[in-house]
Amino acid sequence: EKGGYASFMLKEIAEQPKAVTDTLLGRIDGAGRLSLDEVRIPDAVLREADKVVIVACGTAFHAGLIAKYAIEHWTRIPCEVELASEFRYRDPILNRRTLVVAISQSGETMDTLMALRHAREQGAKVLAVCNTNGSTIPRESDAVLYTHAGPEVAVASTKAFLTQLVACYLLALYLGQVRGTQWGDEIHAVVRDLARIGDDVERVLETMEPVRALARSLADKDTVLFLGRHVGYPVALEGALKLKELAYMHAEGFAAGELKHGPIALIEEGLPVVVVVPSPRGRSVLHDKIVSNIQEIRARGARTIVIAEEGDEAVVPYADHLVRIPATPTLLQPLVATVPLQVFACELATARGNEVDQPRNLAKSVTVE
Ligand code: M6R
């Protein structure tokens, strides 16, 4: 069943280019227009929506955090993202013009299900982003946008995460399309790059050997920190979650701009810090700021593991280890930047003698609140 791989997780990491491509299939036409016919929420409702609220848990929550950047930037509709387990207990403000998006690989996560039930009771429309046909969450939603990752067996989510991102990008672009948001050059470039992102993911997978070697060399460490900005921040959170659940190590993700507000005190000689660097093109201010952050932590002894676009030379002097990813539009970068973090966590866990498909204390789908 593992198709020659040592674990389901490795198999599922390798399946990501196909999962991403399958999720795009038939949803973008030759002219770069989106068609999501299966989403049965009428365009009129999508046009009227004045707020998007995303609810999810764990890795799916991280996909939601990234989706917020895309939705707000491409559609100008305000978007909130909340952990499903927190959502209904704070009496959220919802009405008929609220579009709630529930993201779940399994479609059975109880916290997410309870959040969507609460949202529907308040009159909100609920769209599920789900990987499991006919599961409870899509059945109880007004509409569903399926991810086509195929069955995900390993407890740690990998290919489902990438396809959740793709589905959220499609949703954001579609919302922009039905609402008549200006379709500028930027959007055209994004749609074009999205359509071929599977090849970029493939290229990342082909260059992972140094990441594996690095992971093995860190097997005796106690802590790894992850830093990112903008969409790189949720990627940092996801990298840290993978390491916690698989390697049982202390791992934390921070917004790089928060360093000086506290976390920089954690930096000491030899501490591995993974930094996800935004593209130097586009929002270059972010790039320059993170390069200063890398300098700051390195000056305090951190061992820097830098994930940066091909051609980004500014980071080279400050990177103890450099992991190259293909250039993509800023908002799509998580699709390529997350992959090395998955490989890193999987290899580190294996080097520590852990069972990667079935980490201790965890279940694949969490059907209790
Ligand atoms: O099935 P779901 O997407 O609703 O599951 C949500 C989380 O339980 C899940 O993503 C969990 O965090 C993963 N084990 C992370 O790798």
364 is catalytic: yes
Decide: 60 in ligand 1 pocket, CB within 6 A. Answer: yes
The CA 299 to ligand 1 mean position distance, Å, reads: 37
Strands (E), the chain: 51-56, 79-83, 98-104, 125-130, 143-146, 223-228, 250-255, 272-276, 303-309, 321-325
Instruction: Tell me the CA–centroid distance for residue 304 and ligand 1, in Å.
Output: 28
**Phi and psi at residue 133, in whole multiples of 5°?**
-55, 130
Closest residue by CA, ligand 1 atom 9? 58
Structural contact between residues 345 and 239, judged by C-beta atoms closer than 8 angstroms: yes
Point out the catalytic residue in the list 51, 221, 244, 364. Answer: 364
Q: Predicted ipTM?
A: 0.98
Q: Is 366 in the pocket of ligand 1 (CB under 6 A)?
A: yes
Task: Give the residue, out of 12, 13, 59, with the most ligand 1 atoms within 8 A of its beta carbon, to mutate for a pocket test.
Answer: 59
Question: φ, ψ for residue 295 (rounded to 5)?
Answer: -60, -45
CB-ligand 1 contact for 358 (6 Å cutoff)? no
Ligand 1 and 124: CB distance under 6 A: no
CA 32 / ligand 1 centre spacing (Å)? 32
Residue 241 in contact with residue 275, Cβ under 8 Å?
no
- Phi first, then psi, for residue 214 (nearest 5°) are -60, -45
pLDDT for 183 equals 65
Ligand 1 centroid to Cα of residue 46, in Å, is 27
Taking the CA of residue 160 as reference, the ligand 1 atom at the shortest distance is: 3
Q: Whose CA is nearest to atom 4 of ligand 1?
A: 104
Q: Is 365 in the pocket of ligand 1 (CB under 6 A)?
A: yes
* 105 touches ligand 1 (CB under 6 Å): yes
Q: How far is the CA of 59 from the centre of ligand 1 (A)?
A: 5
Tell me whether strands 98-104 and 125-130 are parallel, antiparallel or unpaired: parallel
Residue 120 burial class via C-beta count within 10 angstroms: exposed 0-12, middle 13-18, buried 19 and up: middle
The torsion angles phi and psi of 135, rounded to 5 degrees, stand at: -75, 175
- The verdict on the CB of residue 153 being under 6 Å from ligand 1 is no
Compute the distance from residue 58 Cα to the ligand 1 centre, in Å. 5
Paired strand residues for 288: none
Shortest-distance atom of ligand 1 to CA 58:
12
DSSP state of 113: H
In sequence order, what are the residues at sequence separation of 6 or more whose Cβ sits closer than 8 angstroms to the Cβ of residue 258? none
**Three-class SS of residue 81?**
strand
8 A C-beta contact, residue 68 and residue 21: no
Contact between 120 and 87 under an 8 Å Cβ cutoff? The reply is: no
Separation of CA 157 and ligand 1 centre (Å): 6
For atom 11 of ligand 1, the residue with the nearest CA is 58
Taking the C-alpha atoms of residue 151 and residue 132, their distance in angstroms, rounded to an integer, is 8
Residues ≥6 apart with Cβ < 8 Å to 280: 287, 309, 311, 312, 314
Q: Which of 243, 222, 270 is nearest to 356 (CA)?
A: 243
Q: Give the amino acid at 163.
A: T
Helix (H, G, I), strand (E, B) or coil at 183: coil
Q: For ligand 1, atom 7, which residue shows the shortest CA distance? A: 58
Q: Characterize the bridge pairing of strands 223-228 and 143-146.
A: unpaired
Question: Is any atom of ligand 1 closer than 6 Å to the C-beta of 112?
Answer: yes
Binding site membership of 163 for ligand 1 (Cβ less than 6 Å):
no
Q: Is the CB of 322 under 6 A from ligand 1?
A: no
Backbone angles phi, psi at 120, to 5 degrees: -65, -35
Q: pLDDT 10s per residue in the chain (369 long)?
A: 899 999 999 999 999 999 999 999 999 988 888 888 888 888 888 999 999 999 999 999 999 999 999 999 999 999 999 999 999 899 999 999 999 999 999 999 999 999 999 999 999 999 999 999 999 999 999 999 999 999 999 999 999 999 999 999 999 999 998 888 766 677 788 889 999 999 999 999 999 999 999 999 999 999 999 999 999 999 999 999 999 999 999 999 999 999 999 999 999 999 999 999 999 987 678 999 999 999 999 999 999 999 999 999 999 999 999 999 999 999 999 999 999 999 999 999 999 999 999 999 998 888 888
